[in-house]
Amino acid sequence: MKLALTAELDGRPAVGILTFVGTRFLLAALSVLPFVLLESRRTTRPPLGLRTTGAFMLLGGLLFSYALVNQIGVKDTTVTNSGFLTSLYVPLIPVFVFVLFRQTVRPMIWIGVGGCFLGSCLLTGVIPAGFDRLHPADVWVMASAVLFAFHVIGMGVFSARWERPVTLAFIQFLVTGLLASAGALILESPDLRGILFIWKELAYAGILAGGLAYALQASAQQVVPAPATAILLSMEMVFAAAAGAVVLGERLETLQWFGAVLIFGFLLAVEVGPLLRRHRTRAAHLASDPASGRPPSCGDETAVGSGE
């Protein structure tokens, strides 16, 4: 996607960011349309009303904001930086859940937020060079992480409530594609020749990384909590770093690598730590009372989690 957005690369026509985002998400909408029809036939839920459709469209507007802000940053930063900085939404999700729904935030979350902030400063060069070293593109990517955190939370809420994950994904794609395409017609000069030159990148970003991936995410979030979804999605940073090194020849300085390791380590600590603690608590309970076979109550788990 970074190569597709680079103007006049190897003699190819320039493709604007809005043109790229619009084409990508319209392709994504088309790719999941057959599954929408299949889902509508199989579901036992009543047809979507205006309020539900409007809620799905609002979530599509949030996806458009994330995609636009993220692509502005991705165009001028490294693939490695974009992968790690986008993953900052992982520790932000529990914080936003606390603000919006008043759910308890474990102390480890706050430690993780601080650790990820320190890692971001090292990765972007703020440490030791100061904020003058901070590239505007990295700021855009970090802003997109905030938007994506809200998007993951919204996906979890809407997918579980209405049980129409593919329809939810389709409406989001369509809204995002139409908004971006309208913006491209007003602010850019979409060139069909330029779009055709990057059809492979658009097909990958729209159909595979867009349509199928988001539809699967929406389906999974019916049963997988938002924090667990976040830790799974955060593995994107590992593949981003590998792709940046192998495909684009990107290299990080020693302090940047240290920052990347800090981000990844604190992300794992935020999400994997509580899972291991609950597993040990359940094992200890079964060992002390093997006849019951009953796992600890939700209250026990909450107390354990909040006591970190």
Delimit the domains of the chain by residue range. 12-276
Distance CA 111, CA 164 (A): 36
Q: Where is pLDDT greater, at 132 or 184?
A: 184
Q: Which DSSP symbol is given to 209?
A: I
Q: Once rounded to an integer, what is the mean pLDDT over residues 153-162? A: 75
Radius of gyration of the chain measured on its C-alpha atoms: 21
User: Which residue from 70, 46, 303 is spatially nearest to 180, judged by alpha carbons?
Assistant: 70
Residue positions counted in the chain: 308
The model's pLDDT over 190-216, given as tens digits with 9 standing for 90+, comes to 888 888 888 888 888 888 877 787 667
The mean pLDDT value of the chain amounts to 75
Q: Which DSSP symbol is given to 208?
A: I
pLDDT of residue 275: 63
- Per-residue pLDDT band for 265 (boundaries 50, 70, 90) equals confident
* Exposed e or buried b per residue across 232-248, where buried means at least 16 C-beta atoms within 10 angstroms of its C-beta: ebbeebeebbeebeeee
Asked if residues 48 and 167 have their Cβ atoms less than 8 Å apart, the reply is: yes
Residue 8 has pLDDT above 50, yes or no: no
Asked if residues 82 and 69 have their Cβ atoms less than 8 Å apart, the reply is: no
Distance CA 277, CA 267 (A): 16
Tokens of 241: 């770093």
